[in-house]
Structure 1
Amino acid sequence: MTDSASNSGLTTWQKSMLLAAALVLAVGLFLVRNGGSIESPLDQLARRSLPPEVALSNGRPTILEFYADWCEVCREMAPAMLEVEQRHSADLDVVLVNIDNPRWLDLTDRYDVTGIPQLNLFSADGTMRGRSLGGRSETELDSIATALMDGSPLPALAGFGSTSPLPETATKDSTGPRSHA
């Protein structure tokens, strides 16, 4: 084997090792950024959600969040909501309702969802105590959760926060902004 052949093999080997190291680092950074989970916080919350009718009748206070996958504010708020849900999971239900799923059209109509994220806040007996429209910080979400669990007055939150408006229907014959028809 000549020197040029062994140098060429070493260079290919080095390139392969650098590529492997870069891939390992990229996967590691992705997992660290997402809390060790490949699922986004919004997907984790949606997957863990009880059906609304179960949450509203199981004797625990409930935060019912209307959201959409395309909603930037919903995605930005999701890590904070996930933290609150995990911290209070024994005493509080956090339920996500995707407005783009036709299954939930009756709920979006019943609760007059006009923008997202919209949080409907319920006491342990299923009585609606309030509504919050727009993004909320983890501190605000935690104070809402605490008030619901304690049965104390809901915090007075300034403003409504950022929202993502629902798309308007294209025509009168359209089935609505939540439809993919």
Structure 2
Amino acid sequence: MSENTSSGVGVNGLRNLVIALVAIALSVTLVLGLQTSANSESLEAQAQNSTPLEVAVSNGKPTLMEFYANWCTSCQAMAGDMATLKQEYGNDINFVMLNVDNTKWLPEVLRYQVDGIPHFVFLDQDGSAIASTIGEQPLSIFQKNLTALINNNPLPYANSQGITSQLKNANPIIEGNQDNPRDHG
């Protein structure tokens, strides 16, 4: 007689079922891992293609400035929506991305009081800050805010806060100063 159990499933069949379940679990894990790294790469690609800050504040177009970091899960989660917004509004609005881990942007981090990311600052045509939002925001909220920004109207969902990632102390000493301006203790 063969290696059948009382339920009619052989040992080989059970082994094959376990192997199949393990393969499915590994596949799902791999796909989820690739999505996270794809979003991170997407942030880098978007940053490379964003409008330089010095151009944005002088070209007469309103601006959405995003303070982000590659390790920020909220920034990664919004990367797809931000790419959609850039396609939809890119002709009318500057999209600027400033990485908070780059000390080059420390003056802007301090000026715009960035203490959580993603942090978005809306600038009018003259380059003056008129509103901000912090954290993950739904695409529809951004669309309404950007439409209002283009039309020079008050932003309906400005100065709001969603889910944020706290800034990491990635650069503990900046230019010889023992105090880090990102420490809020």
- What is the distance in 1 between the residues matched to 2:101 and 2:67? 10
Question: What 5-or-longer segments of structure 2 have no aligned partner?
Answer: 1-26
Give the 3 Å change call, closer, same or farther, for CA 123–167 of structure 1 in structure 2.
same
Q: Structure 1 residue 43 and structure 2 residue 44: aligned?
A: yes
Structure 1 partner of 2:76? 75
- Contact kept in structure 2, 1:45 and 1:95, CA below 8 Å: no
Aligned residues between the structures = 147
- What is the distance in 2 between the residues matched to 1:123 and 1:65? 15
- Contact kept in structure 2, 1:62 and 1:122, CA below 8 Å: yes
Structure 1 partner of 2:149? 148
Deviation at 1:158, TM superposition (A): 8.9
1:25-80 CA-to-partner distances (Å, cap 9, x unmatched) read x9xxx8xx98xx99833122201112212101100000000000000000101110
Give the 3 Å change call, closer, same or farther, for CA 38–57 of structure 1 in structure 2.
same
Letter in 2 for 1:112: Q
- Contact kept in structure 2, 1:62 and 1:94, CA below 8 Å: yes
Structure 2 partner of 1:117? 118
Listed as ranges, the matches of 1:1-181 within 5 Å are 40-156=41-157, 159-168=160-169, 173=178, 175=180
1:112-153 CA-to-partner distances (Å, cap 9, x unmatched) read 111100000011111211011111111111111111111011
- Contact kept in structure 2, 1:80 and 1:141, CA below 8 Å: no
4+ residue stretches of structure 1 with deviation over 2 A? 37-41, 156-159, 167-178
TM-score by length of 2: 0.69
Alpha-carbon RMSD across the aligned residues, in angstroms, is: 2.9
TM-score by length of 1: 0.71
Name the % identity.
34
1:68-105 CA-to-partner distances (Å, cap 9, x unmatched) read 00000001011101100111111111100000011111
- What is the distance in 2 between the residues matched to 1:38 and 1:134? 16
- What is the distance in 2 between the residues matched to 1:157 and 1:54? 24
Q: Equivalent residue of 2:161, what SS?
A: coil
